[in-house]
Amino acid sequence: MSLQGLMMDVPLTISSIIRHAAKYHADTEIVARTIEGDLFRYDYGRAYARIQRLASAITGQLGARPGDRVGSLAWNTHRQFEMFYGVSGTGAVLHTINPRLFPDQLVYIINHAEDRFLFVDALTLPLAEQIAPRLGTVEAFVMMSDRAHMPASTTLPRLLCYEDLLDAAEPAYDWPVLDERSASTICYTSGTTGNPKGVVYSHRSAVLVTMMYLGFVTMKADNGARQTLMPMAPMFHGNAWQFPYLAPMTGSRLVLPGRNYEPDKLYELLEGEKVTLTCGVPTFWLIILDWLKRTGNRFTTLRASLSSGSSVPRSLMETMERDYGVQIMQAWGMTEVLAGSSPMAPPGSAELSFEQRIDARMKSGNAVWGVEYRLVDDAGHELPQDGKSYGHLRIRAPWAASAYFKNEGGSAVDGQGWMQTGDIASISPAGQILLTDRSKDVIKSGGEWISSIEIENIAIGHPAVMQAAVIGVSHPKWQERPLLVVVARDGHQVSPEELLAFLKGKIADWWMPDDAVVIDALPMTGTGKVHKLTLRERFKDYVLPGLR
Amino acid sequence: MSLQGLMMDVPLTISSIIRHAAKYHADTEIVARTIEGDLFRYDYGRAYARIQRLASAITGQLGARPGDRVGSLAWNTHRQFEMFYGVSGTGAVLHTINPRLFPDQLVYIINHAEDRFLFVDALTLPLAEQIAPRLGTVEAFVMMSDRAHMPASTTLPRLLCYEDLLDAAEPAYDWPVLDERSASTICYTSGTTGNPKGVVYSHRSAVLVTMMYLGFVTMKADNGARQTLMPMAPMFHGNAWQFPYLAPMTGSRLVLPGRNYEPDKLYELLEGEKVTLTCGVPTFWLIILDWLKRTGNRFTTLRASLSSGSSVPRSLMETMERDYGVQIMQAWGMTEVLAGSSPMAPPGSAELSFEQRIDARMKSGNAVWGVEYRLVDDAGHELPQDGKSYGHLRIRAPWAASAYFKNEGGSAVDGQGWMQTGDIASISPAGQILLTDRSKDVIKSGGEWISSIEIENIAIGHPAVMQAAVIGVSHPKWQERPLLVVVARDGHQVSPEELLAFLKGKIADWWMPDDAVVIDALPMTGTGKVHKLTLRERFKDYVLPGLR
């Protein structure tokens, strides 16, 4: 029989984070761009006062009980930040919803989550009006604005005003002591096949994964340096890399970009608000870099940007670091895994050359304490982590999903309790993780795997290529062979022959696509990824050159 | 009814830390000074192979079951490091014992903990031989050495050889999945009154508090810089600030100083082994600084030293930072609270002047997420955290004790679940914590408190003073008045009048000691603190000047 420790049983809960910030970093600033476009400024002290009122309103006027789902269809504003604490802290569950999803998907997930309330902002209100007749559980809608910005009229049956709710709420709120394993947030996967599935984060998982990032905040900072965090990633997507938790936990300033992602507006915040650390998909950086080059602007405080979601073009990473002093740090995560790897370079790599450091950062991050990794072949046999073997990536972590809401799609884990990430990866002995493909998109040629992502990353380096996708096309002898599909940049033209010549020598000969085609647009998902299933469907009868 | 999150139930256990390091930082070096004095070098990969054998030996040859206590009476060597994982990882409980305790105390705590085995090194073997006849539960002693260093003869009934145990052990070990709340380690408080009390750390508390330090490791480091951690603090005392966990969790190099604390030997490690971060009590630094000044040596890699246990003389802190580039960072902890505050300077303080930053660092650290703080007066009423009010410090944290082993001395917490730290403190609105006294040592004069520690810190600044203690002496009108007791430096003389004149103007007039006495030596505890109870006893009939 084991002996129990005699330490305090203090649960890891999200409300503890904002209570800490309000108490000891009360004057630390939060700057948020409103939906209307101006900048709203307050601090953790004043935010907390409003969060308490929000919690009172959620549980009082709205009558949300522990476990009830409260939907938020909104962009990165200060009110969305308040929802992260004012909803989850009460024991109710914040359902963060991506406004870029198609209406059918929105209807499905809101009904599936059984959201009792749906919070919207001025930009998502029309979407809510469009789908409202098909929503079965929503009792009231709340407009995240003040009275002055409420719409003159609406087709919604019951639309409340966020600021009115706060004004009428009890100013004090006693946070309940929650089980740390209780649900804090639901986020639906944007599966490219089947229905979206709900990942139910617990307070424990959110707190632990935020703690894991503590080292990221102080990196490159002198002891006592002020850090300012701005999530460019949307807060409806995996909690925006925990930035809304990480900033108050560390007493860092927080900047929220609202909805305006124009490069000049992002720059105005990044530079004007002295942001030191940010996060977002590579697309933001492609757009911002282009704008920087045109305008000659520089960064004086920005040090690093976490990047995830898709791979970063090498030239972008090189230019941002060499010319602008900003490290683009890749890590891997997914809705089901709040952080799959660390963006931090492995200890000792600071001594490497610039080229070698970029090489290292072109990987998908590094093995981090808290996550266990396993690579398996199609038959489930474990493969070595030697940096050469590619296999299905399986993980275990306190911040990884074990199942989906209402058991949709069965368990998320295999028979041994490992989560099936759906990714193909290699892992080096030093823990460098390289994701090479989604399992379902990998091209199987003569019994070997060809990584579509690696070929795409090279193709995107061609100056005339804006987007690239590589898919498998059936082949009588090899089972599948790769086909390169590209979209050209505006005003550029490129031939299949040029594309294939560009790849030649950069990848193994047997990985060379059998053909290339240039099309007008790639089918995209609501989260900005190429919908390869649709693309494969479109090219399923494509006859490769050697077979014509 | 709340909704449960659907995340993996992965317990926070200590073995996960060394498994991570062995897998992804296998070549990262551990350097340890042996008891014999030479340097032993290996790495996480080879350490883990030995730790697996140790766990096999502990559970196999020795037959330790989960919950059984295994005592370790040893200094900071590589074998002590192996015990941290090879014992706790099996579900057995490592009882770390301070060899500086008096024999009666050692006998008491070993019997109280019911240690089944006692691991000793060449330096602690004579101590074990001395107390062995009085130990009721120890079945076998293990000498932490190889066969060549076993003693020719011993009075111990059964003395095994550590390396023989490892050689004979199964090389592989399957780590059990432990309840994260199960005990990992026991450490007894060195109470100055009553019997020592056992604090029982859980795996959860050790892992969480280590995570809390992640930001400390990357502070002042470029992304990818190699950090090297060396605990000067002994590993038998509060896990040496978690350095033995923190280094493998972050893939940092680890340097262990063994038993030789001569300044030239510490310097040889700090500088020669490229240590970047260390920890220890201020006394180490007083001795090292003196040696540095005499020899003209410098540091090229060392950046910071955590300091705790007693307050740091301001001149030491200034000189170490200005002349040697080493920040002495104070934080507060105690056996019952693995970390009570953060040593990190508050965000924004990097912009302060040197003087202001030293001012800030003269405090006892800063409020940190994870710890809740409360100040109360004698009647238990809450006091404001305004930087001016002094009160009894109460805390709550997942890494604070709720009780002592076998309920010794009653609960550690008050009726509302707050731990009674036994300290008097103030907390500023920005979370700067200043410990001013132990509750039991505070001097009550005319209903107000006088802080003995603050007066001592100033008195120690007098060039002729080596040690200073201020105690309360009874007074008919004021209840108590302060008496300053000092020990002069070798070869120095100082009069009571000089001492009082030195204090004059540096503290409030009503805090001025009514008298000063110079004595040969202060009564000390086994952990190097002044035993004030004994001192008060000695001076209980002392008649202050005005009353003679």
Phi/psi of residue B279, each to 5°? -150, 150
| Alpha carbon distance B511, B448 (integer Å) | 10
User: Under a CB-based contact definition with an 8 Å cutoff, are residues B221 and B261 in contact?
Assistant: no
| Alpha carbon distance B437, B448 (integer Å) | 13
pLDDT of residue B454: 83
Contacts of A352 in chain B (CB under 8 A): 224
Select from A251, A430, A431 the Cβ nearest to the Cβ of B346.
Answer: A251
pLDDT of residue B35: 94
How much is the average pLDDT of A129-156? Answer: 97
- Helix (DSSP H) and strand (DSSP E) numbers for chain B: 16, 24
**Residues A214, B212: C-beta atoms closer than 8 Å:** yes
Active site residue A175: no
End-to-end alpha carbon distance in chain A: 72
pLDDT digits (tens, 9 = 90+) for A22-79: 999 999 999 999 999 999 999 999 999 999 999 999 999 999 999 999 999 999 999 9
Residues 6 or more apart whose CB falls under 8 angstroms from that of A141 comprise A117, A118, A119, A120, A128, A132, A156, A158, A159, A160
Please report the DSSP string for A20-80 in residue order: HHHHHSTT-EEEEE-TTSSEEEEEHHHHHHHHHHHHHHHHTTS-PPTT-EEEEE--BSHHH
Identity (one letter) of the amino acid at A73? L
Contacts of B400 in chain A (CB under 8 A): 7-8
In three-state secondary structure terms, B140 is: strand
Phi/psi of residue B278, each to 5°? -140, 180
Give which of B199, B20, B99, B72 is closest to B64, Cα–Cα: B72
User: Under a CB-based contact definition with an 8 Å cutoff, are residues A69 and A186 in contact?
Assistant: yes
How much is the average pLDDT of A350-354? Answer: 91
The catalytic position among B444, B498, B527, B529 is B444
Contacts of A211 in chain B (CB under 8 A): 208, 211-212, 214
State the virtual CA torsion across A57, A60, A62, A63 in degrees, nearest 10: 140
| Alpha carbon distance B127, B123 (integer Å) | 8
Give CA A319 to chain center in angstroms. Answer: 23
Q: Is the CB of residue B528 less than 8 Å away from at least one CB of chain A?
A: no
Tokens of B383: 């006091």
Identity (one letter) of the amino acid at A361? R
User: Under a CB-based contact definition with an 8 Å cutoff, are residues A200 and B7 in contact?
Assistant: yes
Active site residue B449: yes
What is the nearest CA distance from B408 to chain A, expressed in angstroms? 12
**Residues B10, A397: C-beta atoms closer than 8 Å:** yes
Active site residue A285: no
3-state SS track over B247-302: HHHHCCEEEECECCCCHHHHHHHHHHCCCCEEEECHHHHHHHHHHHHHHCCCCCCC
pTM metric for this prediction: 0.93
Phi/psi of residue A344, each to 5°? -70, 140
pLDDT digits (tens, 9 = 90+) for A86-142: 999 999 999 999 998 889 999 999 999 999 999 999 999 999 999 999 999 999 999
Contacts of B226 in chain A (CB under 8 A): 347-348, 350-351
Select from A24, A200, A201 the Cβ nearest to the Cβ of B431.
Answer: A24
| Alpha carbon distance A303, A494 (integer Å) | 36
| Alpha carbon distance B260, A239 (integer Å) | 49
Q: Hey, which residues 200-229 in chain B have their CB within 8 Å of chain A?
A: 200-205, 208, 211-212, 214-227
pLDDT digits (tens, 9 = 90+) for A376-409: 998 999 999 999 999 999 999 999 999 999 998 8
Q: Hey, which residues 58-77 in chain B have their CB within 8 Å of chain A?
A: 65-67, 69
User: Under a CB-based contact definition with an 8 Å cutoff, are residues A34 and A77 in contact?
Assistant: yes
pLDDT digits (tens, 9 = 90+) for A285-314: 988 999 999 999 999 999 999 998 777 888
The catalytic position among B285, B449, B478, B511 is B449
The lowest-confidence range among A219-228, A338-347, B156-165, B498-507 is A219-228
**Residues B208, A204: C-beta atoms closer than 8 Å:** no
pLDDT digits (tens, 9 = 90+) for A516-542: 999 999 988 766 678 888 899 899 889
Tokens of A404: 């989906």
| Alpha carbon distance A76, A99 (integer Å) | 12
State the virtual CA torsion across B40, B43, B45, B48 in degrees, nearest 10: 50
Query: What's the mean pLDDT when you consider all of chain A?
Result: 93
Q: Is the CB of residue B358 less than 8 Å away from at least one CB of chain A?
A: no
**Residues A7, B201: C-beta atoms closer than 8 Å:** yes
Identify the closest residue of chain A to B408 by CA–CA distance: A6
Confidence of residue A192 (pLDDT cuts 50, 70, 90): low
Averages of pLDDT over runs of 10 residues in chain B (548 residues) are 91 98 97 96 98 98 97 97 98 96 93 98 97 98 97 95 98 97 94 82 98 92 90 94 97 96 95 96 89 96 91 89 95 93 90 92 94 94 94 96 91 90 94 89 85 87 90 90 92 92 90 93 78 88 87
Helix crossing, A282-295 with A263-272: angle to 10°? 90
Q: Output DSSP code: residue A386.
A: S
What is the nearest CA distance from B20 to chain A, expressed in angstroms? 6
Active site residue A449: yes
What is the nearest CA distance from B450 to chain A, expressed in angstroms? 26
What is the nearest CA distance from B373 to chain A, expressed in angstroms? 10
Contacts of A199 in chain B (CB under 8 A): 6
Select from A205, A214, A224 the Cβ nearest to the Cβ of B346.
Answer: A224
Find where tokens 């006998």 sit.
B107
Identify the closest residue of chain B to A248 by CA–CA distance: B369
pLDDT of residue A195: 84
**Pairing label, strands A479-488, A277-280:** unpaired
Identify the closest residue of chain B to A404 by CA–CA distance: B6
Q: Is the CB of residue A476 less than 8 Å away from at least one CB of chain B?
A: no
Q: Is pLDDT above 70 for A544?
A: yes
Find where tokens 């009069």 sit.
B495
Find where tokens 């602007």 sit.
A297
**Pairing label, strands B277-280, B228-231:** parallel
Find where tokens 């050692």 sit.
B106
| Alpha carbon distance A495, A485 (integer Å) | 11
In three-state secondary structure terms, A313 is: coil
C-beta pairs of A380-385 under 8 Å, 24+ apart in sequence:
A380/A414, A385/A426, A385/A427, A385/A428, A385/A429, A385/B23
User: Under a CB-based contact definition with an 8 Å cutoff, are residues A13 and A205 in contact?
Assistant: no
Q: Is the CB of residue A144 less than 8 Å away from at least one CB of chain B?
A: no
Find where tokens 């009647």 sit.
B379
Contacts of A216 in chain B (CB under 8 A): 218
The catalytic position among A265, A444, A506, A529 is A444
Tokens of A226: 């002020």
ipTM value? 0.92
Mutation pick from B12, B179, B182, B369 vs chain A, by most beta carbons of A within 10 Å, is B369
Other C-beta atoms lying within 10 Å of the C-beta of residue A348: 18
Give Rg (Cα) of chain A: 24
What does each C-alpha distance from B69 to B52, B156, B159, B186, B234 come to in angstroms? Answer: 18, 19, 18, 8, 20
| Alpha carbon distance A12, B502 (integer Å) | 49
**Residues B183, A250: C-beta atoms closer than 8 Å:** no
| Alpha carbon distance B524, B530 (integer Å) | 5
Mutation pick from A223, A329, A366 vs chain B, by most beta carbons of B within 10 Å, is A223
Q: Is the CB of residue B404 less than 8 Å away from at least one CB of chain A?
A: yes
For each of the domains in chain A, give its residue range(s) and CATH number, in order of start.
Answer: 10-202 (3.40.50.12780), 213-330 (3.40.50.980), 443-538 (3.30.300.30)
pLDDT digits (tens, 9 = 90+) for A469-517: 999 998 988 889 999 999 998 889 999 999 999 999 988 888 999 999 9
Q: Is pLDDT above 70 for A193?
A: no
Tokens of A350: 């600071």
Tokens of A146: 């003040």
How much is the average pLDDT of A314-336? Answer: 94
What is the nearest CA distance from B212 to chain A, expressed in angstroms? 7
Q: Hey, which residues 412-431 in chain B have their CB within 8 Å of chain A?
A: 412-413, 417, 419, 429-431
**Residues B347, A25: C-beta atoms closer than 8 Å:** yes
Residues 6 or more apart whose CB falls under 8 angstroms from that of A341 comprise A331, A332, A333, A364, A365, A366, A367, A368, A371, A433
pLDDT of residue B526: 65
What is the nearest CA distance from A432 to chain B, expressed in angstroms? 9
User: Under a CB-based contact definition with an 8 Å cutoff, are residues A423 and A435 in contact?
Assistant: yes
User: Under a CB-based contact definition with an 8 Å cutoff, are residues A257 and A265 in contact?
Assistant: yes
**Residues A218, B215: C-beta atoms closer than 8 Å:** yes
Select from B7, B26, B208 the Cβ nearest to the Cβ of A429.
Answer: B26
- How many CB pairs lie under 8 A apart between chains A and B? 288
Contacts of B250 in chain A (CB under 8 A): 215, 347, 369
C-beta pairs of B443-446 under 8 Å, 24+ apart in sequence:
B443/B470, B443/B471, B443/B472, B443/B480, B443/B481, B443/B482, B444/B472, B444/B479, B444/B480, B445/B472, B445/B475, B445/B478, B445/B479, B445/B480, B445/B481, B445/B482, B445/B510, B446/B477, B446/B478, B446/B479, B446/B510
Confidence of residue A1 (pLDDT cuts 50, 70, 90): low
Looking from the CA of A540 toward its CB, the CA atoms found within 13 Å total 6
**Residues A17, B91: C-beta atoms closer than 8 Å:** no
| Alpha carbon distance A272, A287 (integer Å) | 18
Give CA A310 to chain center in angstroms. Answer: 10
Select from B16, B182, B347 the Cβ nearest to the Cβ of A5.
Answer: B182
Q: Hey, which residues 362-391 in chain B have their CB within 8 Å of chain A?
A: 366-367, 369-370, 372, 385
Q: Output DSSP code: residue A337.
A: B
Q: Is A271 exposed, middle or buried (0-12, 13-18, 19+ CB in 10 A)?
A: middle
Give CA B380 to chain center in angstroms. Answer: 28
Identify the closest residue of chain A to B326 by CA–CA distance: A223
Tokens of A144: 């995240």
User: Under a CB-based contact definition with an 8 Å cutoff, are residues B74 and B162 in contact?
Assistant: no
User: Under a CB-based contact definition with an 8 Å cutoff, are residues B17 and B242 in contact?
Assistant: no
